[in-house]
Structures are given as structure tokens and as C-alpha cells.
Amino acid sequence: MPSSTSPDEEVGLETCVLKFSDLDLKESNLINPSNSLKAELDANTKKKYSFAKKKAFALFVKTKQVPAPSLEFKGKWWRCCQQLFADQTSIHRHVATQHAEEVCQQTASVLKQLTAAPSASQSLPSADRKSPPKDCRPPSQEVSAWLPDVSRISPDELSSGQGDEDGEVLLYYCYCDLEDPHRICAWQTALCQLLHLTGKIRIATEGINGTVGGSKVATRLYVEAMLSCPLFKDYLCEEDFKSSKGGAHCFPDLRVGVFEEIVPMGVSPSQISYKNPGIHLSPGEFHKEIEKLLSQANQDRGDTILLDCRNFYESKIGRFQGCLAPDIRKFSYFPSYVDKNLDIFRQKRVLMYCTGGIRCERGSAYLRAKGVCKEVFQLKGGIHKYLEEFPEGFYKGKLFVFDERFALAYNSSVVAECSYCGAPWDQYKLCSTPQCRQLVLTCSACQGQGFTACCVTCQDKGGRQASGPTQDSFKEECECTARRPRIPQEQRA
């Protein structure tokens, strides 16, 4: 999924933690982002408001900076919302109009840290000299020892990989008990910055989940660091890292944060633990199970259900033949989907799968906890690993990924269609109405006719914006979202 623009961000962007060089800017309910923010502050804090806002704005812009697209271009460049900006005025205008809420939230966090600093009663420059944030403190001496030695590697080798052929994207997760996730957060931040990696990493007391991109030299060093780390070396192995062509350019920035769950299912790990998952099947074993399932097509497929744990925009462009693909927008809706459709799973053998395997770990544990299934199985390594062994197997179409590539192709099958004309089409684009950010399937011919929005509502809104004054925000609910049940109920066979 695109890291900054996806409609899901499961990843619902719930309490997403953005890590910068000297601040922990945490999206939470510290202060509601509104015009009344400044008015609610005490007299001492009001004096710092202007400074905090400028700093939050500058830090947000800094995270969007990217290398020049080629050697012939000079100066600083920025990438945000799928757009390249070549001058500071343009990126500043874009952030001010499109990301005002994020900047406001970050301003609240900066203010909180400034007012909490011991020197808060001193002058403003002194107040800025605060202790490191609790959520991402600098690595301790022990953690610093976990950083690889890059003294013999040139900066070019680490920062190269701007093209898909030169770089790599890693996807991995590891469930294990971590006593101090904030320490791991500090180490991961330092490690990724050292290796010039971008991406997103979620850390919790239940483990770690990451997707990072960079040069192949950098990603190899990252894998080595993870495998040698004393906290993970007994749980991770080389095959746990799924790789694909890409690089640092696949993500707008680096986001490392501490959360309650390493994949947001919306159920506390204390209630549903990763320690009670379904039975893991290798890609080969899973392939045989599907082969057997499809051969029973004329016998109502027996007592087995092939369940896709992903979201509708993932399964729409690629899925296993004969699967049940819930029409849900977020994985956090999955528990409610199971609860509403328990009869579908009663006395059934369930074969579950997802992109890399992580959602199945908690999803299968939740389904097992309901006590209605005969057995629950899950595809180890997810679709990623299956396609490495069976690119022309039972999975047809593309594999949706949560970054700016949108999807990976392993076979030539096209299972989706243009939302406007129905022609075979599986290349997602962002809705052309800037404030919407939903994904849309619209073929080249329909794009040429101006059909570039996700629905009629957005198409009309975009047209009115193009011919009228610029709107700062888009509050209308998209037609395509409004007509879809949040939690669908399946019909029993």
C-alpha cells in the first residue's frame, strides 16, 4: 500500500508515530487539531506556539526531501502525495494546503515537549534544548553495538537504488516478546538512517513488523543486522525476509514507531495472542490443498473454505482461485466480519492467506478462539512466498503492496476491470480529486476521456475545484465508500 496515500494505511493510520531526528511527533489525542488550539494554551505556552508551529512545519517538509531525479537536475527536491516539487515555495504551499491537520498535530506534540522541558520558563531558544523524547531515545551503548560497520562502504553504495533494478524492498515480521520496544525503536531508527533506508516499521511488546527499501547493499546489511541481533536471532531466519524490486524511492520517508499491535487488527494482544495461531502450511502444502479444493468444485467443495484475509482493494486485483474475499476496507474490520459470519465457518476447515503472513497470525488466532471451525490453516510466508515457488500457480493477478509501487506482477493474468467501462485493467491510480486519496481502476481510454476519479461524487467535486476557488479540505464522503457495507454479511451456500 502506498505509505503516505493509501486509503487504508492499516496500517487506518491509527496513532501513527512519525520519527524525526530530534522529536517524537506522535499523532494522538494530545490536542484536537483546530483553530482553537492556540486559544487553549496557557500564557507561557502561547509564547512558544509560533516557534513550535514553524518547527513542526519545517520537520514535516524535511521528511519529504528526496534526491534529484537525475544528474542533470540540481538543488533540493521533494516528493509528497505522488508529486515531485522542485522549489521550496511549491512544497510549502502543498503542505500548508494539503497537510495542515498533520502539521497541527505535530505542533501540539512539539508544544507538549517544550512545556515539559525543565527550561520551559527560560527563553525560547533555551526551551528547545530539551532531553531526548521518551518514545525514541538515542540508542544505548549496547544497542549501538548492534549497528553494522559501514566504514568500508562508500555512501554511494548505500544511497543508490533509485531505480527498481538497482534497489530492493524487504517485507518481514517477527512475533516475539519484547520487554523494551522503545529501545528497539531507537535502534531501528538509527539502523535505517545509517543505511539510508526508507519505509515503515511497527514495534510492540509482541514483536516487530517492517517494510524497508534501499540499495541492495543496504538491505543485505539490514538483514544481517536483524539476524545477528540477540533479541531476534532465535526467531528470524533468512527466508523470513521477502524481497522484491524497488528501493528507497518506494516510500516517501522513514516511519518507525511503537504501537500496541504490530498489525492493527483492533484487538488487544492480551485478548488474542499471536501464540495461538492456525497450523502453518508451506507454499507447497498450501498449493496441494488448493488443488484438492478446486477438484471438488462439482461436489460443493466439501468442508473447506479458502479465506482471503486482505482488504477489498487488494483482492480485487489478485487472488487465489475459489477464495472467499471479504469486502472489507481494513483488517481491523476482520474480527467484526468473523463475528457477523460465524455460520459460514461453522464445522469448516479454513485455509487462510494474506500478503506476507502477518495478518493470518492474529486473524487465525481470532478465528480459532471462536471455537466453530474444524481446523484453521494459514499460508506460511503469505502470497509473497507462494509466488516465489508458484508464479503460474493458483494465485491469479497482481500482488497489492503497501507502498508507492501499488502492485507487483508475477504472472500475466488480469482479474480486475476498469471501474468505468469494464475492460480488463489492474493498474491502480490515486483519485484525481486531491483531497480524496482513494485508489481507482480506470483504463487508459477512460483516463483519456477524463474519468480519473474514484466515483461520480469525486469526479464532480474535482471538476468544480478546477473551475472555481481552491478548497482547503474535502469533507464529502465518497459515493463508492458510502454504498459499501462496512461489515458485509455473506450468503450461506
What kind of architecture, by CATH, is found in domain 141-258? 2-Layer Sandwich (3.30)
Q: Which of 354, 418, 431, 478 is catalytic?
A: 354
What burial letters (b/e) apply to 33-67, b meaning 16+ CB within 10 Å?
beeebeeebeeebeebbebbbebbbebbbebbebe
Q: What is the dihedral of CA 389, 392, 396, 397, to 10 degrees?
A: 90
Average pLDDT of every residue of the chain: 79
Residue type, 54: K
Domain extent listing, the chain: 23-130, 141-258, 279-400, 428-482
341-381: per-residue pLDDT in tens?
999 999 999 999 999 999 999 999 999 999 999 999 999 99
| Residue of 323, 325, 328, 283 whose CA lies nearest to 306 | 323
CATH 3.40.250.10 corresponds to the domain 279-400: yes
pTM: 0.68
| Residue of 279, 326, 322 whose CA lies nearest to 301 | 322
Distance CA 289, CA 294 (A): 9
Using left for φ > 0, alpha for ψ between -120 and 50, and beta otherwise, residue 411 falls in beta
Predicted pLDDT of residue 353: 97
Q: What is the pLDDT along the chain (493 residues), one digit of tens a residue?
A: 343 333 333 433 233 333 333 333 333 333 334 444 444 445 555 556 777 787 778 877 877 777 776 666 667 778 887 788 888 888 888 888 888 877 777 777 666 656 554 333 333 333 333 333 345 656 665 677 889 988 888 888 887 755 556 799 999 999 999 999 999 999 999 999 999 999 999 999 999 999 999 999 999 999 999 999 999 989 999 999 999 989 999 998 999 999 999 999 999 999 999 999 999 999 999 999 999 998 875 555 578 999 999 999 899 999 999 999 999 989 999 999 999 999 999 999 999 999 999 999 999 999 999 999 999 999 999 999 999 999 999 999 999 987 778 888 888 899 999 999 999 999 998 888 877 778 899 999 999 999 998 887 788 776 666 554 444 444 445 767 767 778 888 876 5
Q: Does the annotation count 455 as an active-site position?
A: no
| Cell numbers describing residue 436 | 480524496
